[in-house]
Structure 1
Amino acid sequence: MDKRRAVVIGSGVGGLTAALALHRSGWQVTVLERADSLEPVGAGIGLAPNAQRALDVVGLGDEIRSLAAWQGEGGMRAPSGRWLSRTDASAAAERFGGPLVLLHRAVLIDRIAARLPASAIRTGCPARLTDPGTAGGAPAVVATPAGAIEAELVVGADGIHSGVRTALFPDAPGPSYAGFTTWRVVVPAPDRPFPPHETWGRGALWGTQPLKDGRIYAYAAATAPAGARAADDEKAELLRRFGDWHDPVPEIIAATAPEEILRNDVYRMADPLPAFHRGRTALLGDSAHAMAPTLGQGGNQAIEDGVVLAHHVAPARDLGAGLAAYTADRLPRTSAVVRKADRVSRLMSLSSAPAVAARDFLMSTVSRLGPGLVLRTFDGIADWRPPGATYAAGTTEEAPGTRR
């Protein structure tokens, strides 16, 4: 029998993970990307153990773990440099079953795409869902410049302003502004070593994290009106906001060219969708549950989505029941992560001196009581395990790293 066809709209981390998981489980997969290449818009991405275990399902987990750069202590600091809390990499790995891996988004995209057939990815191909199909009957239909494509499954992975989401749920509330903007850069590492850190100030934060290739991924966030931009350039804006913070923050800003700085306002979906599927069409990643980056889980949850979707719609299973199971698995979990990320965002956004002092005191107190209390923030998130078989291994055993 011919393979069932799946069309994935969007070639971000979640879309490509879904494409690879579907391909490994027996689907004929086509990825449609409107951009002319797979060069990702973005800088770094942090993959927590939950995403690494999801990547085990498609045979990439150990390859990604080998890129971990964080060793020893790190933690949270105040702009003066004072440590608010400390966390050890080995303690985090022991608690959650793996290290935190920071890497450039382009590296992750390349590693996933390389495992797909070259003919599976079509760049320069904008796509629009014209019919979501019916699970037990008509196929879904996607319009492209080259003509319509019919498919047994369509996956909307087209980002926070998803056209697929709008087509499926036109009356659902869309994403809303989270109240802050972000900057991201990747630069050569300073000459002297430093412990990785995230620094929280008044309505602002800065993170400095090492990459395996010797570069630094730095990111910043600050409360700002939606759509605001620097009158001169974003390097000057970073200097105004963070230039007097502790080392190595000023040095990293000085090493950054203005044109290399990515600035994006943060939008998230505070109101969950009624479902993550309709007919023969499913949503994943930012299309389904855009979240604030304050837990570093946006890409991680998209990767989880991809492997869970493929698990539930395996070719031997009923598609309608599989998509319903996908929604039942993913909607409660991702909604909880969205809410938790919003709570952390509110802490980060505090700007009055008394409120910031109380927040910092609480962080320091919790840290002194034990590093396990700090890590507990990620209980129920970083310890997630994927369902079903490891497709890469072709067995019914659990994926590596999932022993209970």
Structure 2
Amino acid sequence: MPERRAVVVGAGIGGLTAAVALHRRGWDVTVRERAPEPPTTGAGIGLAPNALRALDAIGVDAAYAAGSHVPEAMGVRRADGRWLTRSGTADMAARYGLPPIAVPRPALTAALTAALPPHTVRYGAEVTAVEDPEGRPAVRTDDGPGRPVDLVVAADGIHSPLRRAYFPAHPGLHYIGETAWRALVDAPDLRIPSMSETWGRGERFGITPLSDGRFYLYATAIVPAGGRCSDHRAELRRRFGSWHDPIPALLDHVDRLDPADVLRNDLYDLAAPLPRLHHGRIAWLGDAAHAMAPNLGQGGCQAIEDAVILARLMPSGDRGAEADAEADTDTGDGAGSVPAALAAYTAARRDRTDAVRVRARRAGRLGALRNPLAAAVRDLAIRATPDRLALRGMDDLFNGFRLPA
């Protein structure tokens, strides 16, 4: 009998991970991405132990694919450079089985694409609608509707048109009050062994050594949404040029970048959880399902978890490989069917991802305090917390990935 067919809408990290995971389950997968080509610039992505375990479950070695450099430590600093908290990655590896790494997004995108059959990912192929979600849906593009498929994975990003179409009563996105700048720099003259985030008053600056030896830089500030600046490099220099070393030296490298290589985006999360993460035979994952603030570094990690668990819950792609309750012509509402698997996916993922979304929003509010007294109390409280207790506070995130039985 023919393979089950899936269309993944969006070729971001979550969408590509879902494609790889479904392909490994025997599904015939097509990825449709509206961008004309794969990304070549942009940001880094942190892969915490939970995401690395999820990738390993589908045979993807992110460290091998994108470099193996691991920072010596990670922590939070004040604008004068004093550490508020710091944990060695060796301690993290001992506690969680492996340390976190950070990789360039383009490198991880390329590695996931390479794990798929040729021509699986189709760029410049925007999905305009998904028709007949209660039966076998057909994905519509500018060329018209395609053949009906067994599953559509909506990995179409934070502004997900499919989310808006099928959950019209949902309040949508919530501006968290900050904008962010991001850049990748190659600075071989600088030795920066630690991953750090520095907190000022309403501003933050993050430094992440990447697995390929470069540095991923990000900064945030509390500003109204929709702001514009003619030169993001100058704006970063104005805001952070007087902060502790090595921030000024890194900004020297930012000044040498093409202006287009410094990204600026207002930060949003989902205003409320979706009522469920599926509708008919459509499943939402990643930012499309539970957009969250970047403060815990878990947005991409949770998308990877979504993708791997979704595929694991699905029946085998080979219809003849197992006794399935789903006949070719019915709606498949029996145990082992695609609709039943999607209901199990919502049950497995909705509460966990929403808890991370809420926690990320709260962490951002703490880091973005502007009142001097409130910021001083926050800093004293963090410094008074033993590093081992701070690390233990990440257990539910880093140990939270579980494959369904």
Letter in 2 for 1:385: F
TM-score normalised by L of structure 1: 0.91
What residue in structure 2 maps to residue 208 of structure 1?
207
Secondary structure of 2:211's aligned partner: coil
Residue 75 of structure 1 is matched in structure 2 by 75
Residues 74 and 195, structure 1, Cα contact 8 Å, conserved in 2: no
Distance 2:308 2:118 in 1: 20
Name the CA shift for 1:38/1:192 in 2 (closer, same or farther; >3 Å): closer
For residues 342 and 305 of structure 2, what CA distance do their matches in structure 1 show? 15
- The Cα offsets for residues 365-401 of structure 1, whole Å up to 9 and x where unpaired, read as 11xx3x2211123121111233158xxxxxxxxxxxx
Match of 1:255 among 237, 250, 253: 253
Note closer, same or farther for the CA distance 1:30–1:309 as it changes in structure 2 (3 Å cut). same
Deviations 1:151-198 (A, max 9, x none): 111010000110111121111110111110111111112524233221
Contact 1:132 1:139 in 2 (8 A): yes
Alpha-carbon RMSD: 1.6
Shift in Å, 1:40 = 5.9
- Shift in CA distance, 190/244, structure 1 to aligned 2, threshold 3 Å: farther
Match of 2:292 in 1: 291
The 5-angstrom pairing of residues 117-132 of structure 1 reads 117-132=117-132
Return 166-175 or 295-304, whichever deviates more: 166-175
The CA distance in 2 between the partners of 1:284 and 1:74, in whole Å, is: 28
Which runs of 5 or more residues in structure 1 are unaligned? 390-404
Per the alignment, residue 235 of structure 2 pairs with 237
Match of 1:180 in 2: 178
* Structure-1 separation of matches of 2:235 and 2:149: 47
1:98 corresponds to: 98
Aligned to 2:10: 10
Structure-2 residue corresponding to 1:140: 137
Is 1:373 aligned with 2:389? yes
Q: 1:195 aligns with which of 188, 193, 196?
A: 193
Do the aligned residues in 2 keep the contact of 1:12 with 1:157 (CA within 8 Å)? yes
**Residue 202 of structure 1: how far off its partner (Å):** 0.5
* Between 338-347 and 35-44, the greater mean CA deviation after superposition: 35-44
Sequence identity, in percent? 48
Query: How many angstroms does 1:50 deviate by?
Result: 0.5
Structure 2 unaligned residues grouped into runs of 5+: 317-323, 325-335
Q: Note the alpha carbon deviations across 1:34-83, whole angstroms, 9 max, x for none.
A: 11112166310000010011101210136459834234334211111111
Aligned residues: 382
TM-score w.r.t. the length of structure 2 is: 0.91
Instruction: Assess if the C-alpha contact under 8 Å between 2:174 and 2:270 holds in 1.
Output: yes
Pick aligned residue for 2:350 from 324, 331, 334: 331
How far off is 1:145 after superposition?
A: 2.1
SS at match of 2:153: strand
Paired with 1:62 and 1:10, the residues of 2 have a C-alpha distance of 20
Change (3 A) 1:41 1:155: farther
Q: 2:235 is matched by which residue type in structure 1?
A: E
Change in CA separation of 1:63 and 1:333 when aligned onto 2, cut-off 3 Å: same
Structure-2 separation of matches of 1:164 and 1:181: 25
